[in-house]
Amino acid sequence: MKLTLNVWRQKGPNDSGHFETYHTDKVLPEMSFLEMLDVVNQDLIAEGKEPIAFDHDCREGICGTCGMMINGVPHGRQIAGTPTTTCQLHMRFFKDGDTITIEPWRAKAFPVLKDLVVDRSAFDHIIQSGGYISVPTGAAPDGNAIPVPKPKADYAFDAAACIGCGACVAACPNASAMLFTGAKVAHLAALPQGQAERYDRVLRMVDTHDAEGFGGCTNFAECEAVCPKGISIDVIAQMNRDLFWANLTRSQPKAKKESH
Amino acid sequence: MASATDKNEFFTVAAEPQVNSNIPPGPLAEKWTQHKFNMKLVNPANRRKHTIIIVGSGLAGASAAATLGEQGYNVLCFCYQDSPRRAHSIAAQGGINAAKNYRNDGDSVYRLFYDTIKGGDFRAREANVYRLAEISSNIIDQCVAQGVPFAREYGGLLDNRSFGGAQVSRTFYARGQTGQQLLLGAYQALSRQIDAGTVKMFPRTEMLDLVIINGKARGIITRNMVTGKIERHVGDAVVLATGGYGNVFYLSTNAKGCNTTAIWRAHRRGAFFANPCYTQIHPTCIPVSGDYQSKLTLMSESLRNDGRIWVPKTPGDKRPPHQIPEDERDYYLERKYPSFGNLAPRDIASRAAKEACDAGRGVGPGGLGVYLDFSDAIKRLGRQKIEERYGNLFEMYAHITGEDPYVTPMRIYPAVHYTMGGLWVDYNLMSNITGLFVAGEANFSDHGANRLGASALMQGLSDGYFVLPATMGNYIASEKPEKVDINHPAFAEAEAEVVERTKKLLSINGNRSVDSFHRELGKLMWDNCGMARSDESLRYALSVIPKIREEFWQNVKVPGEGEELNQELEKAGRVADFLELAELMCIDALHRTESCGGHFRIESQTEDGEAKRDDEHFTYVAAWESTGVGKPPVLHKEPLNFENVQLATRSYK
């Protein structure tokens, strides 16, 4: 296959960045999208140029490291026709002669570090502000002590399947991370173990979400459409319900933890 | 000892092995409890005065960091990924073993212990494995309390499935994403400690050297992968939880970033490397499709619960699978191992697949594949049930191959998956370097010569949540590490070496990319030190590796600069270390003339092609001491004493 690639190149966080065009004729339909980039990079290295920097690791769609805008859509979702990560998008979905535009995630809270690599530490900060159950190691009762109805457990799993790739933010016109935040809130709120901290958790996580520079949700649902794990925007509704209740019952504004 | 194991031109043997396993005395079942009681403690108020460096944030690293932080230590945690949530533990699919006996099918701590010892082909320490089995139940409790959404039954209780090498159902799972859910549990516990200020996290940071002061591990040298800055970090102890080294084969199921650098640098500083040749080749992976291939994808072993493995009986039968009638199919695992059938352990299932393909009965392009067929299970249970159990795996398979496994049988082939070898540690998980602890896949401790499915997650979390937090306190309390800071000359010296090495890599400016060297090494290792090894193949590899290494240091091309995000530089450093490790793996494989578990020497097999152990000469752990690059390492033998289990021929028939 012959392809033309328009790729975002940016030397570092302070560089303004620009598109560069590359041609390749070494692409096979069996390759993954990242393997196609590997091939392009090997040629760039041979020509004495700097290869395109992009984040990737497991290459099996679970670590959430990879992610890029492919023809304007996170992970090339529109090309695969089904939810996918970039590493699981295969070249058989492209046609000989196609032109592909590749960009990094675009969001204020995800500054570009180099080329297609962005800084997603804002996601970690959201989890650090309550996206957990406070249970010290060794303090747990028997695993079967608290039954969890299967539908609840399944719902919790569906929400917990989030891989933290950031496609939801990249797809959102508001660069909102409500799907990401809602997924963790909904996961823990569905389980009996998560009840003790439920309302404090949602307040803190949403506060951090806003402080990190993510926008609000205005129900475009673009996030759900591109989510590689098919997480439903129901989790945002769940989060908003918990947030409403938390705000009603919060006795006094909780001092916000130092922002990171 | 026989002369075969004593030495050859590639290595020497230590007259007085310096490996004391420090296994506590007493009956097997009481060792850990008694040991915990005998260990010294650190007063909670004093813990924050002690800094512990943890490298790696997978199941072992994250759970250790979270727990030690929670106990009050000052923890510094490092990972090369952009977030600790991405460590490759996340990709583990099938499940985690625990001796809960919730099924009432005869499981017990002792049975899990026995299965693991036998699964490891009697090449692991009894005491370590027993402790692992003992702790397994606590892990499940801990994870449930953290909110890990394990699979449940309609009554609300935890569900189990079966796994290879066991005849009980003791595997807990979260669909096909168990590793993800366990890692996120540990990541969340870690996040809680980061929020509490007890753990400081350093993502996108790679450890490039270990700093030893007065014989004790006291710090590390790191490179900030965004700015390129080389930094020094000091602590009272160092924990390496940096995973396995399967990527020495280039193609493996490991993440692209998985590497040996942290443990290899520690090895070069004196830490013994144990059983480096014990490599697990996983039987069910998606076959290689071309030269561009960058990694291999595992299809969980749990699929063998319902999938049946077969090849055509006639060599060269090219008919599509559904046209091959039942009586012309060879369900070779069911035929050869009737009592374990498709759930034979990994090493055995892999070799059987290789054997079928070598006999010309393989399927798919190049004949390097066997069928994993679900049609019977779909007929019996319905598509919905299969979807529930393995939905995400089927989806992944369809994504990669473009074929629908609900309709056409999967094609699978063995691939490098896990490394049982790793840095040598004693019962306390401390290496022979005082103050250097090693956890998870990075150590060698619990799986012998072959790891059973769903045991890696168990070991990582056992080490991190329960073992290290106990033994670390004892170390700090008894050693009372003296005060040092990053201005100590040992830091300056280690840093200078790292800077020099980085400069060298960038200055060679040769004609070949890092990847081309890595692929060359990988293919050499797969062909000569892979599923089957021989004296001839290993000697051949040992003659080629130094040449590749030499060319690497003269002809590699690493574009860009050191003081920036430079992925080629990162890869170059890792491949340079793989080029040294590969040699040690081959030396170890050459010296161990027996077959055991994942280490199959074609010279040592039974009449029906099974691995033949040589207990008389090889019932020991091979711990290797480095004497420098390309120089013969020194072998320290730690004898394995079986006091509770009788050494037996491992049979799954």
Cβ contacts of B525 within 8 Å, gap of 6 or more: B248, B249, B541, B582, B585, B586
For residues B314 and B288, the answer to whether their CB atoms sit within 8 Å is: no
The domain total for chain A is 2
Residue linked to tokens 């520079």? A213
Determine the pLDDT at residue B302. 86
Determine the pLDDT at residue B390. 87
* Measured distance CA(B87)–CA(B254) in Å, rounded: 10
Q: Is the pLDDT of residue B518 over 60?
A: yes
Determine the pLDDT at residue B329. 97
Cα angle A158, B307, B406; round to 5 = 65
Q: Is the pLDDT of residue B253 over 70?
A: yes
From first CA to last CA, the distance across chain A in angstroms is 46
Q: Which two tokens stand for residue B43?
A: 């007063």
Residues A79 and A125 both lie in one domain: no
CA dihedral (B410, B413, B416, B418) in degrees, to 10, reads 50
Residues 121-150 of B with CB under 8 A from A: 137-138, 140-147, 149-150
Q: Is the pLDDT of residue B645 over 90?
A: yes
Residue linked to tokens 């804002």? A122
B391 band by pLDDT with thresholds 50, 70 and 90? confident
* Measured distance CA(B218)–CA(B238) in Å, rounded: 7
Determine the pLDDT at residue A255. 52
Average pLDDT score over residue span B23-42: 98
For residues A127 and B187, the answer to whether their CB atoms sit within 8 Å is: yes
Give the domain CATH number at A37.
Answer: 3.10.20.30
What mean pLDDT is reported for chain B? 96
Phi, psi of B547 (to 5 degrees): -70, -40
A56 touches B: beta carbon within 8 Å = yes
B392 band by pLDDT with thresholds 50, 70 and 90? confident
Measured between beta carbons, the chain A residues lying within 8 angstroms of B147 are 132-133, 156, 160, 187-188, 191, 193-194
Regarding predicted confidence, which is higher, B443 or B9?
Answer: B443
Cβ contacts of B612 within 8 Å, gap of 6 or more: B594, B595, B604, B605, B606
Query: Per-residue pLDDT tens for B113-143?
Result: 999 999 999 999 999 999 999 999 999 999 9
Query: Per-residue pLDDT tens for B261-277?
Result: 999 999 999 999 999 99
Radius of gyration of chain A, Cα coordinates, nearest whole angstrom = 20
Query: Per-residue pLDDT tens for A193-233?
Result: 999 999 999 999 999 999 999 999 999 999 999 999 999 99
Whether A187 sits inside 8 A of B257 (CB atoms) is no
Q: Which two tokens stand for residue B180?
A: 């993800």
Residues A126 and A224 both lie in one domain: yes
Q: Residues for chain B: how many in total?
A: 653
Q: Is the pLDDT of residue A253 over 60?
A: no
Q: Which of B83, B96, B384, B394 to mutate to test the interface with A (most CBs of A within 10 A)?
A: B83
Average pLDDT score over residue span B17-26: 97
Taking phi first (over 0 means left), then psi (-120 to 50 degrees means alpha), and beta for anything else, what does residue B576 get?
Answer: alpha
**Which CATH topology does B282-417 take?**
Flavocytochrome C3; Chain A, domain 1 (3.90.700)
Report the chain A residue with the minimal C-alpha distance to residue B252. A58
Residues A191 and A220 both lie in one domain: yes
Measured between beta carbons, the chain B residues lying within 8 angstroms of A140 are 138, 141-142, 144-145
Residues 104-133 of A with CB under 8 A from B: 113-114, 117, 119-121, 123-124, 127-133
A260 occurs within a structural domain:
no
* Measured distance CA(B226)–CA(A114) in Å, rounded: 9
Residues A92 and A126 both lie in one domain: no
B396 band by pLDDT with thresholds 50, 70 and 90? confident
Whether A140 sits inside 8 A of B144 (CB atoms) is yes
A111 occurs within a structural domain:
no
Determine the pLDDT at residue B3. 43
Parallel, antiparallel, or unpaired: how do β-strands B410-419 and B279-285 relate? antiparallel
Average pLDDT score over residue span B506-520: 98
Query: Per-residue pLDDT tens for A151-197?
Result: 999 999 999 999 999 999 999 999 999 999 999 999 999 999 999 99
Residues A237 and A162 both lie in one domain: yes
Whether A147 sits inside 8 A of B469 (CB atoms) is no
B520 touches A: beta carbon within 8 Å = no
Residues A68 and A131 both lie in one domain: no
Nearest to B190 by CA among A34, A55, A6, A124: A124
Determine the pLDDT at residue B546. 98
For residues B448 and B121, the answer to whether their CB atoms sit within 8 Å is: yes
Determine the pLDDT at residue B5. 54
Residues A130 and A48 both lie in one domain: no
Nearest to B92 by CA among B440, B561, B483, B491: B440
Average pLDDT score over residue span B502-516: 98
ipTM of model over 0.85: yes
* Measured distance CA(B497)–CA(B533) in Å, rounded: 36
Cα angle A66, A67, A70; round to 5 = 135
Average pLDDT score over residue span B615-640: 97
Q: Is the pLDDT of residue B36 over 70?
A: yes
Q: Is the pLDDT of residue B293 over 60?
A: yes
Domain boundaries, chain B: 38-276+418-479, 282-417
**Distant-in-sequence contacts of B491-496, Cβ < 8 A, 24+ apart:** B491/B211, B491/B219, B491/B221, B491/B232, B491/B234, B494/B209, B494/B210, B494/B211, B494/B221, B494/B232, B495/B209, B495/B221, B495/B230, B495/B232
A89 occurs within a structural domain:
yes
Determine the pLDDT at residue B272. 98
Run of H or E including A69:
strand A69-70
Query: Per-residue pLDDT tens for B555-605?
Result: 999 999 999 999 999 999 999 999 999 999 999 999 999 999 999 999 999
* Measured distance CA(A100)–CA(B350) in Å, rounded: 40
Distances (CA, A) of A231 to A156, B225, B491: 11, 31, 47
Average pLDDT score over residue span B617-641: 97
Q: Which of B75, B96, B142, B144 to mutate to test the interface with A (most CBs of A within 10 A)?
A: B144
> Under CATH, which architecture does the B38-276+418-479 domain have?
3-Layer(bba) Sandwich (3.50)
Measured between beta carbons, the chain A residues lying within 8 angstroms of B84 are 124
Give the domain CATH number at A210.
Answer: 1.10.1060.10
- Select which of B123, B346, B574, B601 is catalytic: B346
A13 occurs within a structural domain:
yes
Q: Which two tokens stand for residue B620?
A: 């020991």
A62 occurs within a structural domain:
yes
Q: How far is B257 from chain A (nearest CA, A)?
A: 6
Determine the pLDDT at residue B399. 87
Determine the pLDDT at residue A252. 59
Nearest to B58 by CA among B174, B179, B172: B179
Determine the pLDDT at residue B651. 84
Q: Is residue B499 helix, strand or coil? A: helix
Residues 421-440 of B with CB under 8 A from A: none
Q: Is residue A72 helix, strand or coil? A: coil
When CB atoms are compared, the residue of B88, B147, B399 closest to A58 is B88
Q: Is the pLDDT of residue B344 over 80?
A: yes
Q: Which two tokens stand for residue B247?
A: 């990527």
Measured between beta carbons, the chain B residues lying within 8 angstroms of A51 are 559, 567-568
In the residue annotation, B192 being an active-site residue is answered as: no
Measured between beta carbons, the chain A residues lying within 8 angstroms of B402 are 90, 92
When CB atoms are compared, the residue of B195, B469, B560 closest to A50 is B560
Q: Is the pLDDT of residue A83 over 50?
A: yes
* Measured distance CA(B556)–CA(A46) in Å, rounded: 11
B8 band by pLDDT with thresholds 50, 70 and 90? confident
What mean pLDDT is reported for chain A? 95
A248 touches B: beta carbon within 8 Å = no
Run of H or E including B238:
strand B237-240
Domain of A238? Answer: 120-136+143-249
For residues B75 and B68, the answer to whether their CB atoms sit within 8 Å is: yes
Average pLDDT score over residue span B454-480: 97
Measured between beta carbons, the chain B residues lying within 8 angstroms of A59 are 255-256, 294-295, 297
Q: Is residue B638 helix, strand or coil? A: strand
CA atoms within 13 A on the CB side of B584: 32
Parallel, antiparallel, or unpaired: how do β-strands B556-557 and A112-114 relate? unpaired
